[in-house]
């Protein structure tokens, strides 16, 4: 017997078409470089997206050609998300926070043919232009200034619009639509290539009620850059549901985000923990200094992930009525793999247990298999404490890297992705991240989780931010060193006080850091996470 269902290939094009046709009156708002707001309806956006696709085809873009973007979060970047694949191209988001050398290397490795770049990022482009020649450089006049004559003006390019009968280039569901490079914290960055199929499946799964729970009345504020793992896939979900998006443009300072929230209150915001840490500190500080200047939108829910989420951060937002929903993912995994949402099992749990769970990575989403492999290659028992490497498999998880294949240190012989994260799972498959393999501290043969120690330190009232690293030690091989940023307006804590605080949080005496270093700010990576490699360079050698 055969199934009688139609075999229609999965495709993101239907999402865009649907947004333009069914949700055509809903809006997209972009914050421009001068901080003013510009609105487009989805109908206008869809027409512009099709115009971009038609224009790229006219320029000679062919199936599978890479079209890079070097852009902040705004409506035109969203046009690229859908317009480039509609022309048969592969959108390659370049990370504007990398060094010019890295960006140039990545563009060359991906063999990008075309570049779409914000006018305000042209100075950055000029610094890597010698490393890779794009056949066409299209400049988006984000600031409104005239585009320099040597470049193609994005607005002029799309002005003719698409022919009335325009159709996206035909494709199979496995055809590529986008690519993104990993951060390269271990070796050279590697390209991950997403397909229509992987993206549609990821979008459907991530949008489910307990996850993003996208609703027609939502207004989404993506602080996560659109070059960071496709903004966690949210642009696809928001377009699929035709929900309002408020793009922050280049204005990511906490004051700017809080101002924007007053003008365009979001119901769903997304960003890495460091964004929310600085935002909540500033918000709480101003509650006493300038009460009433800002109000966190009632009912706001916030997606957070990309790095360990301290329980203290979740509690801080909860005090102001905002729930932080944590997800775990990687560029390699589209990225959503696990989400920490309230499960039926916790219905009668007390609030401490609820917060403890919220600070864990959570439950694997449908279609994703998670296993935890101990050092000896066996599965770690699901007891919540036994540690092993998290390995994942599924239809939106990469099975190889562009031009590299499937290196042994990244993939197991039986086809699972090795995440490099050390985790424990319990009997209800709840994942707790203990550390990244390279961040675990091995002292006297025993492991210390930097994530657990940071969590505990950030629960101290004087500590705004904490990052714990291993420094070499002759006797113990490694010892923990804690880098701290003090909370504004609170007296710094003494070493003894911090030690007592850690002991009260369940750490043993031998685990306490030998050194505490105070910093004005903890260095961030190109995607806004704590930059532990930099900290190791700063303090490791001195140890």
Residue carrying the six token digits 């701290």: 484
Q: Which of 529, 530, 531, 532 binds ligand ADP (CB under 6 A)?
A: 529
419 binds ligand ADP (CB under 6 A): yes
| Residue 305 CB, nearest approach to ligand ADP (Å) | 4
Please choose, out of 78-86, 341-349, 413-421, 481-489, the segment that lies near ligand ADP by the rule CB under 6 A: 413-421
Query: Do 454 and 310 touch, CB atoms closer than 8 A?
Result: yes
Q: Which of 183, 274, 398, 449 binds ligand ADP (CB under 6 A)?
A: 183
- Which C-beta is closer to ligand ADP: that of 274 or that of 527? 527
| Integer Cα distance of 468 and 320 in angstroms | 28
As beta bridge partners, residue 340 has: 326
For the question of residue 332 being annotated catalytic, the response is yes
Residue carrying the six token digits 């009668």: 348
Which DSSP string corresponds to 436-455? EGGG-EEETTEEE-HHHHHH
Q: Which of 41, 185, 406, 412 binds ligand ADP (CB under 6 A)?
A: 185
Query: What count of other Cβ atoms lies within 10 Å of the Cβ of residue 97?
Result: 15
Q: 311-319 and 450-458 helices cross at what angle (nearest 10)?
A: 30
Q: Which of 90, 361, 392, 468 binds ligand ADP (CB under 6 A)?
A: 361
Number of residues that bind ligand ADP (CB under 6 A): 23
| Integer Cα distance of 235 and 242 in angstroms | 10
44 binds ligand ADP (CB under 6 A): no
Task: Give the closest residue to 303 by CA, choosing from 327, 279, 280.
Answer: 327
Q: Whose CB is nearest to ligand ADP?
A: 183
Choose the catalytic residue: 152, 284, 412, 447: 447
Tell which phi-psi region holds residue 114, choosing left (phi > 0), alpha (psi between -120 and 50) or beta: beta
| Residue 482 CB, nearest approach to ligand ADP (Å) | 18
| Integer Cα distance of 112 and 101 in angstroms | 15
For the question of residue 244 being annotated catalytic, the response is no
Site for ligand ADP in 489-528 (CB under 6 A): 525, 527
| Residue 102 CB, nearest approach to ligand ADP (Å) | 12
Residue carrying the six token digits 């993104």: 180
Choose the catalytic residue: 27, 182, 363, 527: 182
229 binds ligand ADP (CB under 6 A): yes
534 binds ligand ADP (CB under 6 A): no
| Residue 185 CB, nearest approach to ligand ADP (Å) | 5
Query: Do 84 and 62 touch, CB atoms closer than 8 A?
Result: no
450 binds ligand ADP (CB under 6 A): no
Choose the catalytic residue: 332, 389, 454, 465: 332
336 binds ligand ADP (CB under 6 A): no
Residue carrying the six token digits 């708002």: 29
List of residues 6+ apart from 385 with CB closer than 8 A:
424
The contact set with ligand ADP (CB under 6 A) reads 182-183, 185, 229, 305-309, 326, 328-331, 361, 419-421, 433, 436, 525, 527, 529
Instruction: Give the catalytic positions in this structure.
Output: 182, 332, 442, 447
């Amino acid at each position: 017997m055969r199934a009688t269902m139609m075999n229609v290939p999965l495709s993101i094009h239907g999402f865009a078409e649907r947004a333009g046709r069914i949700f055509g009156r809903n809006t997209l708002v972009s914050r421009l470089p001068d901080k003013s707001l510009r609105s487009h309806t989805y109908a206008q956006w869809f027409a512009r997206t099709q115009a971009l696709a038609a224009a790229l085809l006219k320029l000679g873009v062919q199936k599978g050609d890479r079209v890079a973007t070097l852009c902040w979060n705004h409506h035109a970047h969203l046009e690229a998300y859908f317009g480039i694949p509609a022309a048969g191209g592969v959108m390659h988001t370049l990370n504007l926070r990398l060094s010019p050398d890295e960006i140039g290397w990545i563009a060359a490795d991906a063999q990008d043919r075309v570049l779409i770049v914000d006018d305000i990022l042209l100075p950055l482009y000029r610094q890597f232009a010698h490393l890779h020649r794009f056949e066409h450089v299209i400049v988006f006049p984000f600031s409104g200034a005239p585009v320099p004559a040597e470049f193609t003006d994005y607005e002029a390019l799309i002005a003719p619009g698409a022919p009335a009968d325009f159709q996206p280039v035909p494709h199979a569901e496995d055809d590529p639509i986008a690519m993104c490079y990993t951060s390269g914290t271990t070796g050279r960055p590697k390209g991950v290539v997403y397909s229509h199929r992987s993206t549609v499946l990821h979008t459907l799964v991530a949008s489910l009620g307990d996850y993003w729970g996208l609703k027609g009345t939502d207004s989404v504020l993506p602080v996560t850059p659109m070059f960071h793992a496709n903004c966690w896939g949210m642009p696809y979900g928001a377009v699929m549901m035709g929900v309002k998006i408020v793009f922050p443009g280049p204005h990511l300072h906490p004051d700017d985000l809080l101002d924007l929230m007053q003008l365009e209150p979001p119901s769903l915001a997304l960003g890495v923990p460091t964004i929310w840490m600085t935002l909540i500190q500033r918000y709480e500080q101003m509650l006493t200094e300038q009460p009433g200047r800002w109000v966190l939108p009632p009912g706001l829910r916030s997606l957070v992930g990309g790095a360990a989420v301290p329980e203290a951060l979740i509690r801080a937002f909860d005090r102001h009525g905002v729930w932080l929903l944590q997800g775990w993912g990687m560029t390699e995994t589209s990225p959503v793999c696990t989400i920490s949402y309230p499960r039926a099992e916790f219905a009668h749990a007390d609030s401490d247990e609820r917060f403890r769970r919220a600070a864990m990575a959570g439950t694997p989403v449908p279609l994703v298999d998670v296993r935890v492999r101990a050092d000896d290659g066996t599965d770690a028992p699901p007891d919540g404490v036994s540690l092993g490497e998290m390995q994942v498999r599924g239809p939106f998880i990469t099975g190889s890297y562009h031009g590299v294949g499937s290196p042994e240190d990244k993939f197991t012989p039986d086809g699972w992705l090795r995440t490099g994260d050390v985790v424990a799972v319990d009997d209800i498959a709840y994942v707790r991240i203990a550390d990244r393999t390279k961040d675990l501290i091995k002292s006297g043969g025993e492991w210390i989780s930097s994530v657990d120690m940071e969590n505990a330190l950030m629960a101290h009232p004087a500590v705004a931010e904490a990052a714990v690293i291993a420094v070499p030690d002759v006797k113990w091989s490694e010892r923990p060193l804690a880098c701290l940023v003090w909370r504004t307006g609170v007296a710094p804590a003494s070493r003894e006080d911090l030690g007592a605080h850690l002991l009260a949080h369940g750490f043993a005496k031998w685990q306490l850091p030998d050194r505490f270093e105070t910093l004005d700010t903890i260095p961030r990576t190109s995607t806004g996470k704590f930059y532990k490699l930099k900290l190791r360079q700063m303090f490791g050698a001195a140890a």
